[in-house]
């Protein structure tokens, strides 16, 4: 295979000011285009289907295998004891998530054998300093029901 | 009938001199308020214009379409703590922004504005040498910038101030020579050729048509005077943080900021007065001030587009540009206008 | 000999990309000495990689060159997959190549915008970012994140490309060249821009090789070296593209080389976007619960061409589930070493434009 080499050409030397004026025209043309930004809280962005942020947990599906705790690169996930009747989760341990250190890498979702832990579109999760950690029950709740 | 005479009519009971003094004072204060409001509007316009060119929305929170944003910003700047550098040279440091503001507002009171229906002539200073006065006052402003840079004991500010001086020296000579061409042309038609209003009345054709080189030199000089991109070497925000105004905060910084926009407006007004026949328009002269504002605003928008689309020129290249290109061009312009005036009798 | 003034530029300065600090000795406006000081964004990524599983390290590699995260992931996986012996399937290779080239374009767009800002052009920055946002939109559709994507996994990719994403990539590569020319003209036709870049910061090929400079900067000095050609990985031995080269070696040449690289990336994308084969998108050896049970033994070094230059990853495995040692040869770090040479005896304004033309990303330099 031959190595294709392309020598880049310097822009031609032109009459002075022509480029400046054409640049001004190009910039001026954008005055009539639609802005790309949104007034955020009023207009919600159109998020793609796979956009992920807030972690949810299906308490009934979780088998307490601790894979998510192991795979979490930052140690944001810790297993907690929750007294709850679940025949699949004999050890009664469920993950909690510290959103202060979570990087939304989605490894926990990828590795979960029962798809119990999963990420969703919800991204409006304002927290105060001491409330970054979601307990397993809070992970199962809707965002607006979680005590902040 | 002018605004001044209307005011004198109210205060004439005080006698001749006190009456005129008070009318002048009131008129000047009135102008300051109007021009301050206009500058605030201009900053709003700039931010909206810049946002739309950059495919953004711009200010949109405070008031309808963000129209009160600038008021909010001004209040914020007034309320800010004034942080003074420890090793400053106190007096020049405090005086510098005021010099810039005073120079700017003085220049605005000297310009002729034409007339408006119901009020009459809006011109404050009816002197025979307003042109000389305006340029004398404009050249006060760089002193403020230099004082600010030297007194704030900051290396960035110092370099900014030095660049500012180098820049001012290199564009002011071509600027004055291009003005000379105008005075020469006007002197063939009107007696007081050093007064801006007679220069305006002498323009049977806008001088932009007769002196295309002259308007190029003068507009470039005005861009450099206001010091925005491409000629903002003095404050070049990506190299020298903020140039001579690096150490200024709060209201003092706002003065420099307003000074920048004021210079743009002043430059646009001067160009439209000297080269685009100012307040003369196709319709009746009673709406002269509106024509002036329209012409100035078009020039302001052009200035903004230049600002937003150009990279910054390097200081040594600018000095080269000033002496090697602008100066010969302005001389050529002077010679051509001389030929037009004397040879062809225009 | 007049006295030199010491000027400290950064780490908080409007034009230092990220947290670069430059100790500069100036004589008036002329720079006599530059000393870059780095380490303000040091996050210990290489050491952190020794403490997590092979599949998790991608998270740290994402955060190295955060404007071209897919390039970083591809570089790590070249090494890690060799070590673990898990080759990706054909479809994953195609997906990786597409994402790699999109990421390269995104990185160069960020560079072009920031370079404009360094020179005082306010507006082209936004046009670059609008285009980049379209690429990031494609990334979000593919994997759910804009920048720190964590999309490639050991033995494939985490999520398959849907036909809609392929359509969006196609739409992007049809409309992007026109926008690119518009941005290019804003820069290259402007006399002041040419004046600020032409002949500034000349780098001779010999000095460039001595300092270990790679990537667009080396190519702008006239050395046609590109890892994609010299040691092809992914699909690069099966697609046609040219190495853009310039003999001038100045800031303008670096600018032109990067813009030509974007055009070549579009060319690569156009060749492979229609040929994505059907099939699995990950290797079943690395499927779900096995992800953290992968064991590697031995040492391996792999190099790839990131948007900044040659990106090398060295991994030592001791038979455990975590690597024993990870080392990164980061291109931007080597490229930064050329700054004192280039900026000597230039003006302060040129220092900014030279450091802009090197394309510094501090996530990668400090790691």
A36 vs C contacts (CB less than 8 Å): 130, 133
Q: How many CB atoms lie within 10 A of CB C147?
A: 14
| Tokens, residue B309 | 């689309």
Q: How many CB pairs under 8 A join A and C?
A: 132
- Average pLDDT of chain B? 83
Superfamily assignment of C5-366 in CATH?
Answer: Cytochrome-c3 Hydrogenase, chain B (1.10.645.10)
Q: Which chains form contacts with chain A, at 3 or more CB pairs under 8 Å?
A: B, C
A120-134, B10-24, C193-207, range with greatest mean pLDDT = C193-207
Out of C142, C158, C229, whose CB is closest to A110? Answer: C158
Distance CA B273, CA B289 (A): 11
Query: What value does the mean pLDDT take over residues B1-26?
Result: 78
Q: Identify the residue with better confidence: A128 or B266.
A: B266
Cβ of A30 and B56 within 8 Å?
no
ipTM of the prediction: 0.84
So what's the pLDDT on residue B126?
75
Distance CA C52, CA C71 (A): 21
A28 vs B contacts (CB less than 8 Å): 53, 305
C182 vs A contacts (CB less than 8 Å): 26
So what's the pLDDT on residue B206?
81
Out of C13, C120, C347, whose CB is closest to B311? Answer: C120
Cβ of B314 and C130 within 8 Å?
no
Give the residue numbers in C contacting B (CB under 8 Å), as ranges. Answer: 5, 7, 13-15, 29, 116-123, 125-127, 130, 186, 190, 192-193, 195-196, 347-352
Domain assignments of chain A as residue spans, ordered by start: 55-143
Task: Give which of B233, B238, B315 to mutate to test C binding, by max C Cβ within 10 Å.
Answer: B238
Residue-wise DSSP of A13-72? P--TTHHHHHHHHHHHHGGGSPP----TTTS-----TT---SEEE-TTT-----HHHHH-
Strand order across the beta sheet in which C5-9 lies: C5-9, C21-27, C30-37
A109-123, B318-332, C274-288, range with greatest mean pLDDT = B318-332
State whether residue A115 sits within 8 Å of chain C by CB.
Answer: no
CB burial string B103-138: b at 16+ within 10 A, e below: bbbbbbbbbbbbbbeeeebbbbbebeebbbbbbebb
Does the pLDDT at position C83 exceed 80? yes
Distance from CA of A92 to the nearest CA of C (A): 20
Does the pLDDT at position C1 exceed 60? no
Query: What value does the mean pLDDT take over residues C77-84?
Result: 86
State whether residue B49 sits within 8 Å of chain A by CB.
Answer: yes
So what's the pLDDT on residue A148?
60
Q: Which positions ≥6 away from C345 have C-beta within 8 Å?
A: C30, C31, C32
Does the pLDDT at position B109 exceed 70? yes
Give me the residues of C, 216-235, that contact A with CB < 8 A: 224, 229
Distance from CA of C29 to the nearest CA of A (A): 27
Query: What value does the mean pLDDT take over residues B234-253?
Result: 78
Give me the residues of A, 13-72, that contact C with CB < 8 A: 14, 16-20, 22-23, 26-27, 30, 36, 47-52, 67, 70-72
- Average pLDDT of chain C? 85
Distance from CA of C10 to the nearest CA of B (A): 10
So what's the pLDDT on residue B253?
84
Does the pLDDT at position B284 exceed 70? no
A71 vs C contacts (CB less than 8 Å): 53, 55-56, 291-292
| Tokens, residue A131 | 């409330």
Nearest to C309 by CA among C333, C287, C290: C333
Cβ of A39 and B60 within 8 Å?
yes
User: Residue C332, CB half-sphere, CA atoms under 13 Å: how many?
Assistant: 29
Query: What value does the mean pLDDT take over residues C314-338?
Result: 87
Distance CA B246, CA B253 (A): 9
Nearest to C99 by CA among C62, C57, C60: C62
Cβ of A24 and B309 within 8 Å?
yes
Closest-CA residue of chain B to A21? B306
Domain assignments of chain B as residue spans, ordered by start: 80-343
B312 vs C contacts (CB less than 8 Å): 119-120, 192, 196, 349
B233 vs C contacts (CB less than 8 Å): 349
- pLDDT tens string C117-173: 888 888 888 888 998 988 888 888 888 888 888 888 888 888 888 888 888 888 888
Out of C13, C14, C193, whose CB is closest to B311? Answer: C193
State whether residue B62 sits within 8 Å of chain A by CB.
Answer: no
Query: What value does the mean pLDDT take over residues C270-285?
Result: 83
| Per-residue DSSP letter, B326 | I
Task: State whether residue A5 is helix, strand or coil.
Answer: strand
Query: What value does the mean pLDDT take over residues B107-112?
Result: 84
Distance CA B23, CA B223 (A): 34
Domain assignments of chain C as residue spans, ordered by start: 5-366
Cβ of A10 and C252 within 8 Å?
yes
So what's the pLDDT on residue C294?
78
Give the residue numbers in A contacting B (CB under 8 Å), as ranges. Answer: 20, 23-24, 26-28, 30-31, 33-37, 39
Q: Which chains form contacts with chain C, at 3 or more CB pairs under 8 Å?
A: A, B
Task: State whether residue B240 is helix, strand or coil.
Answer: coil
Secondary structure tally for chain B: helices H, strands E: 14, 2
Out of B156, B233, B239, whose CB is closest to C352? Answer: B239
So what's the pLDDT on residue B62?
82
Distance CA B128, CA B141 (A): 23
Q: Quickly state the pLDDT bin for B21 (edges 50, 70, 90).
A: confident
Does the pLDDT at position C18 exceed 80? no
- pLDDT tens string A44-82: 888 888 888 888 888 888 888 888 888 888 888 888 888
Cβ of C350 and B314 within 8 Å?
yes
A111 vs C contacts (CB less than 8 Å): 288-289, 291-292
Cβ of B311 and C119 within 8 Å?
yes
State whether residue C169 sits within 8 Å of chain A by CB.
Answer: no
State whether residue B230 sits within 8 Å of chain C by CB.
Answer: yes
- pLDDT tens string B122-165: 777 777 888 888 888 888 888 888 888 888 888 888 888 888 88
Does the pLDDT at position C361 exceed 60? yes
CATH architecture of A55-143: 2-Layer Sandwich (3.30)
Distance from CA of A141 to the nearest CA of C (A): 22
State whether residue C318 sits within 8 Å of chain A by CB.
Answer: no
Give me the residues of C, 182-211, that contact A with CB < 8 A: 182, 185-186, 188-192, 194, 198
Cβ of A31 and B49 within 8 Å?
yes
Whose tokens are 């209201």? That residue is B251
């Amino acid at each position: 295979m031959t190595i294709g080499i392309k020598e880049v050409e310097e822009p031609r030397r032109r009459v002075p000011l022509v480029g400046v004026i054409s640049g001004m025209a190009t910039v001026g043309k954008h005055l009539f285009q639609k802005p790309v930004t949104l007034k955020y809280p009023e207009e919600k962005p159109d998020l793609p289907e796979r956009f992920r942020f807030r972690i949810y947990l299906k308490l009934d599906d979780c088998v307490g295998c601790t894979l998510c705790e192991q795979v979490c690169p930052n140690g944001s996930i810790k297993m907690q004891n929750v007294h709850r009747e679940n025949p699949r989760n004999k050890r009664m341990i469920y993950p909690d998530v510290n959103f202060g250190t979570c990087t939304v890498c989605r490894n926990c979702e990828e590795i979960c054998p029962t798809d119990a832990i999963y990420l969703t579109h919800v991204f409006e999760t304002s927290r105060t300093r001491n409330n970054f950690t979601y307990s397993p029950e809070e992970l199962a709740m809707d965002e607006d029901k979680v005590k902040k | 009938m002018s605004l001044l005479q209307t005011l004198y009519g109210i205060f004439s009971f005080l006698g001749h001199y006190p009456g005129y003094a008070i009318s002048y004072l009131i008129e000047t204060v009135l102008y300051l308020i109007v021009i301050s409001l206009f500058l605030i509007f201009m900053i709003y316009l700039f931010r909206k214009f810049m946002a739309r060119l950059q495919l953004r929305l711009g200010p949109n929170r405070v008031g309808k379409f963000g129209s009160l944003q600038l008021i909010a910003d001004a209040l914020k700047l007034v309320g800010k703590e004034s942080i003074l550098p420890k090793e400053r040279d106190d007096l020049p440091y405090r005086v510098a922004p005021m010099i810039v503001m005073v120079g700017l507002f003085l220049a605005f009171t000297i310009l002729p504005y034409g007339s408006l229906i119901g009020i009459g002539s809006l011109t404050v200073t009816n002197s025979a040498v307003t042109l000389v006065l305006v340029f004398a006052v404009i050249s006060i402003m760089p002193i403020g910038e230099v004082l600010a840079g030297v007194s704030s004991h900051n290396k960035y500010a110092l370099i900014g101030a030095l660049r500012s001086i180098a820049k001012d020296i290199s564009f002011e000579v071509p600027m004055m020579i291009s003005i000379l061409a105008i005075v020469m042309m006007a002197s063939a038609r009107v007696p007081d050729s050093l007064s801006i209003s007679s220069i305006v009345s002498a323009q049977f054709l806008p001088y932009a048509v007769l002196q295309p080189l002259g308007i190029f030199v003068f507009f470039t000089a005005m861009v450099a005077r206001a010091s925005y991109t491409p000629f903002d070497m003095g404050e070049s925000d990506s190299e020298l943080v903020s140039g001579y105004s690096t150490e200024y905060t709060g209201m003092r910084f706002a003065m420099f900021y307003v000074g920048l926009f004021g210079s743009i407006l002043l430059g646009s007004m001067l160009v439209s007065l000297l080269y685009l026949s100012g307040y003369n328009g196709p319709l009746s002269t009673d709406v002269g001030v509106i024509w002036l504002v329209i012409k100035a605003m078009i020039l302001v928008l052009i200035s903004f587009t230049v600002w937003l689309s150009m990279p910054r020129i390097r200081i040594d290249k600018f000095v080269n540009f000033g002496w090697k290109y602008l100066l010969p061009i302005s001389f050529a312009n002077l010679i051509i206008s001389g030929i037009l005036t004397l040879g062809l009798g225009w | 000999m007049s006295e030199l003034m010491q000027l400290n530029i950064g780490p908080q300065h409007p034009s230092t990309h990220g947290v670069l600090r430059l100790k500069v000795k100036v004589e008036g406006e002329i720079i006599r000495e530059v000393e870059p000081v780095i380490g303000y964004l040091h996050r210990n990524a290489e050491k952190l990689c020794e403490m997590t599983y092979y599949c998790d390290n991608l998270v740290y590699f994402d955060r190295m060159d955060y404007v071209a995260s897919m390039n970083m992931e591809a570089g790590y996986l070249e090494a890690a997959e060799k070590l673990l012996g898990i080759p990706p399937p054909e479809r994953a290779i195609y997906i990786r190549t597409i994402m790699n080239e999109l990421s390269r374009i995104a990185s160069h767009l960020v560079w072009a915008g920031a370079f404009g800002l360094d020179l005082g052009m306010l507006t082209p920055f936004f046009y670059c970012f609008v285009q980049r946002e379209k690429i990031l939109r494609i990334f979000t559709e593919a994997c759910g994140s804009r920048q720190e994507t964590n999309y490639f996994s050991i033995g494939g990719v985490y999520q398959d490309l849907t036909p809609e994403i392929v359509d969006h990539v196609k739409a992007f590569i049809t409309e992007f060249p026109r926008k690119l020319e518009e941005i290019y003209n804003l820069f290259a036709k402007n006399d002041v821009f040419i004046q600020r870049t032409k002949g500034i910061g000349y780098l001779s090929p010999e000095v460039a090789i001595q300092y270990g400079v790679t990537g667009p900067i080396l190519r702008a000095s006239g050395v046609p070296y590109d890892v994609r050609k010299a040691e092809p990985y992914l699909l690069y031995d099966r697609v046609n593209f040219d190495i853009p080269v310039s003999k001038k070696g100045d800031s303008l040449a670096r600018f032109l080389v990067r813009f030509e690289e974007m055009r070549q990336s579009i060319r690569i994308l156009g060749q492979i976007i229609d040929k994505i084969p059907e099939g699995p998108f990950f290797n079943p050896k690395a499927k779900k619960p096995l992800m953290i049970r992968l064991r590697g033994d031995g040492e391996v070094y792999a190099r790839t061409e990131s948007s900044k230059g040659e990106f090398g990853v060295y991994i030592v495995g001791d038979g455990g589930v975590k690597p024993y040692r990870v080392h990164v040869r980061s291109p931007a770090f080597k490229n930064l070493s050329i700054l004192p040479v280039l900026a000597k005896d230039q003006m302060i304004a040129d220092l900014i434009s030279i450091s802009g033309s090197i394309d510094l990303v501090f996530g990668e330099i400090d790691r």
